[in-house]
């Protein structure tokens, strides 16, 4: 098969790239997908409900990709197809949205399938071809463009858009093939690693309390006695350690042996007056909204009697409690692996890609979009928004 543009991967970024390049109607566009269905990971997103983007100013999105270099890279794509454009695109095609209190945006039906159907229908409407059950095995640059070796034979295209995603949840089809292709074509990679992943904690004493969460807790990551990062958000106790948005978002910066301090009570709110009156220690501490079962466990762990009257609590105990409740220390044993991570951090080095067009600075006619790039966003819809925005940018920039 010879076409003008091949897009490899039919996730949100590849479908968006296919739609945008097919719209030009200057030649044939074909999206190749290894699975029998497109968008397997997209279907899983937001527990099947698809948190497709976030509300608010698009400028505020820029802080949600890790650092200022990443913010600079994502900016043109996000500005050219922002959260408003994204929701309009689907609304015009019959899918209304709802905004949750925390700003996350979902289809009103809470079905990711409704959004995926629209992307696929639009690709076909614009004349694009979707060819599933086609595994791209190798990619090479040739004089006339690119040669793709697949399980269905060899295909040639003038232009190539790689939209193969990252490496997490490999059962969805995103197995890191694009990293290999990018390397074969001369690109460098920032080493891919699991991100937006829960944390396994060493000597974890709260396995039976899994499901308890701390609302909007301040957290700090420490390495070699230095504070590395700070964050704030909900923290969830799991069977093996910690999860929840605050942990997931900072996981890209964590390593085994790092210490995570979780402030169950903000230091500013810790007041010595709690040790006055006739209350028990447990009752006095409950005013901070900590789940009772967790509070009792902490007190037990530190050999403090929960029902002792506050007035009888000695100075040393008070100091220990303050330390522990304003920064409970968890040591990271390991981070969740590829089967647990929601995204991949690392990928195609950003300096080698033109952020205005998504075209490679090394190989002309080659484009990248989505999670294959060295971009990973926080939870909240930032990853799918970037996948779709960068896909549209790549598709709009392909000239053929
Ligand atoms: C459980 C889970 C929940 C998530 N929830 C959210 C959420 O609510 N909001 C959010 O913003 N993000 C969420 N994400 C992240 C988001 O789904 C991804 O960032 C996004 O799907 C990336 O889009 P993409 O198009 O770049 O890659 P992908 O969606 O990974 O698509 C890549 C496609 O390429 C295909 N492919 C790969 N290699 C080949 C090959 N060699 N030949 C042919 N085809 C190939 C794959 O089969 C796949 O279909 C979630 C992720 C997971 C795992």
Nearest ligand 1 atom, CA 13: 25
pTM for this structure? 0.93
Nearest ligand 1 atom, CA 178: 38
Q: Is 343 in the pocket of ligand 1 (CB under 6 A)?
A: yes
Comparing CA positions, the residue from 300, 353, 383, 265 lying closest to residue 13 is: 383
Nearest ligand 1 atom, CA 369: 26
Q: What is the mean pLDDT of residues 258-274?
A: 86
How far is ligand 1, taken at its centre, from the CA of residue 93, in Å? 22
Query: What pLDDT is stored for residue 158 in this prediction?
Result: 94
Nearest ligand 1 atom, CA 173: 47
Enter the DSSP assignment of 203: T
Sequence-ordered list of residues with C-beta below 8 angstroms from that of 125, at least 6 positions apart, any chain? none
Least confident of 147-151, 205-209, 246-250, 300-304: 300-304
How far is ligand 1, taken at its centre, from the CA of residue 370, in Å? 8
The model's confidence at residue 273, banded by pLDDT at 50, 70 and 90, is: confident
Dist CA 348 CA 13 (whole Å): 15
Asked whether 299 and 161 are in contact (CB, 8 A), the reply is no
The model's confidence at residue 384, banded by pLDDT at 50, 70 and 90, is: very high
How far is ligand 1, taken at its centre, from the CA of residue 11, in Å? 5
How far is ligand 1, taken at its centre, from the CA of residue 166, in Å? 7
Mean pLDDT of the chain: 94
With a cut of 90, say whether residue 278 has pLDDT above it. no
Query: What pLDDT is stored for residue 351 in this prediction?
Result: 98
Q: Is 43 in the pocket of ligand 1 (CB under 6 A)?
A: no
Q: What is the mean pLDDT of residues 245-256?
A: 94
| 3 state DSSP class of 314 | coil
170-199 tens-digit pLDDT = 999 999 999 999 999 999 999 999 999 999
Q: Is 336 in the pocket of ligand 1 (CB under 6 A)?
A: no
How far is ligand 1, taken at its centre, from the CA of residue 282, in Å? 46
With a cut of 80, say whether residue 1 has pLDDT above it. no
Q: Is 13 in the pocket of ligand 1 (CB under 6 A)?
A: yes
101-158 tens-digit pLDDT = 999 999 999 999 999 999 999 999 999 999 999 999 999 999 989 999 999 999 999 9
Q: Is 150 in the pocket of ligand 1 (CB under 6 A)?
A: no
59 phi-psi bin (left φ>0, alpha ψ -120 to 50, beta other):
alpha
Query: What pLDDT is stored for residue 274 in this prediction?
Result: 80
Q: Is 74 in the pocket of ligand 1 (CB under 6 A)?
A: no
* Minimal-distance CA residue to ligand 1 atom 20: 384
From 9, 13, 43, 61, give the residue whose CB has the most ligand 1 atoms within 8 Å, as the site to mutate.
9
Distance (Å) of CA 22 to CA 26, 29, 81, 276? 8, 6, 17, 72
* Minimal-distance CA residue to ligand 1 atom 10: 381
Q: What is the mean pLDDT of residues 63-86?
A: 96
Domain extents in the chain? 2-194+338-397, 199-335
Query: What pLDDT is stored for residue 400 in this prediction?
Result: 61
The model's confidence at residue 209, banded by pLDDT at 50, 70 and 90, is: very high
Dist CA 15 CA 27 (whole Å): 17
Strands of the chain (E only): list them: 2-8, 29-32, 53-54, 97-99, 104-107, 129-131, 136-142, 145-150, 153-162, 189-195, 199-201, 213-223, 226-237, 241-243, 259-263, 328-335, 343-348, 366-368
Q: Is 4 in the pocket of ligand 1 (CB under 6 A)?
A: no
The model's confidence at residue 374, banded by pLDDT at 50, 70 and 90, is: very high
The model's confidence at residue 19, banded by pLDDT at 50, 70 and 90, is: very high
Query: What pLDDT is stored for residue 398 in this prediction?
Result: 92
Q: Tell me which architecture the domain covering 2-194+338-397 has in CATH.
A: 3-Layer(bba) Sandwich (3.50)
Q: What is the mean pLDDT of residues 333-360?
A: 97
How far is ligand 1, taken at its centre, from the CA of residue 175, in Å? 10
How far is ligand 1, taken at its centre, from the CA of residue 342, in Å? 9
The model's confidence at residue 24, banded by pLDDT at 50, 70 and 90, is: confident
The model's confidence at residue 96, banded by pLDDT at 50, 70 and 90, is: very high
């Amino acid at each position: 098969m010879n076409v003008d543009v091949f897009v490899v991967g039919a996730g949100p970024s590849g479908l968006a790239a296919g739609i945008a390049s097919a719209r030009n109607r200057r030649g044939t566009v074909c999206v190749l997908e290894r699975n029998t269905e497109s968008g397997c990971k997209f279907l899983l997103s937001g527990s099947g409900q698809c948190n497709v983007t976030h509300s608010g100013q698009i400028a505020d999105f820029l802080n949600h990709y890790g650092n200022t270099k990443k913010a600079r890279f994502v900016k043109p794509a996000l500005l050219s197809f922002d959260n408003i454009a994204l929701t309009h695109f689907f609304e015009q095609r019959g899918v209304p949205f709802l905004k949750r209190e925390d700003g996350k945006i979902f289809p009103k039906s809470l079905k990711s399938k409704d959004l995926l159907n629209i992307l696929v229908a639009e690709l076909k409407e614009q004349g694009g071809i979707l060819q599933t059950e086609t595994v791209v095995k190798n990619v090479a640059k040739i004089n006339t463009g690119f040669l793709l070796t697949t399980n269905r034979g060899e295909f040639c295209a003038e232009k190539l858009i790689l939209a193969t995603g990252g490496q997490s949840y490999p059962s969805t089809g995103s197995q890191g093939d694009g990293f290999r292709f990018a390397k074969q074509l001369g690109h460098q990679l920032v080493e891919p690693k699991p991100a937006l992943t829960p944390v396994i904690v060493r000597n974890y004493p709260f396995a039976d309390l899994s499901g308890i969460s701390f609302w909007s807790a301040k957290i700090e990551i420490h390495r070699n006695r230095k504070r590395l990062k700070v964050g704030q958000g909900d923290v969830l106790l799991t069977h093996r350690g910690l999860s929840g948005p605050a942990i997931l978002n900072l996981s890209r910066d964590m390593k085994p042996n790092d210490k995570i301090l979780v402030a169950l009570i903000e230091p500013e709110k810790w007041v010595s007056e709690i040790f006055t009156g006739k209350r028990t220690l447990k009752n006095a501490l409950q005013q901070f909204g900590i789940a009772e079962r967790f509070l009792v466990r902490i007190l037990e762990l530190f050999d403090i009697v929960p029902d002792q009257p506050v007035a009888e609590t000695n100075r040393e105990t008070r100091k220990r409690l303050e330390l522990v409740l304003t920064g409970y220390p968890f040591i990271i044993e390991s981070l969740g692996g590829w089967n647990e991570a929601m995204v991949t951090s690392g990928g195609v080095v950003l300096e080698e890609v033109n952020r205005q067009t998504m075209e490679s600075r090394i190989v002309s006619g080659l484009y990248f979009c989505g999670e294959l790039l060295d971009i990973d966003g926080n939870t909240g819809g930032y990853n799918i928004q970037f996948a779709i925005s960068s896909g549209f940018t790549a598709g709009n920039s392909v000239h053929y």
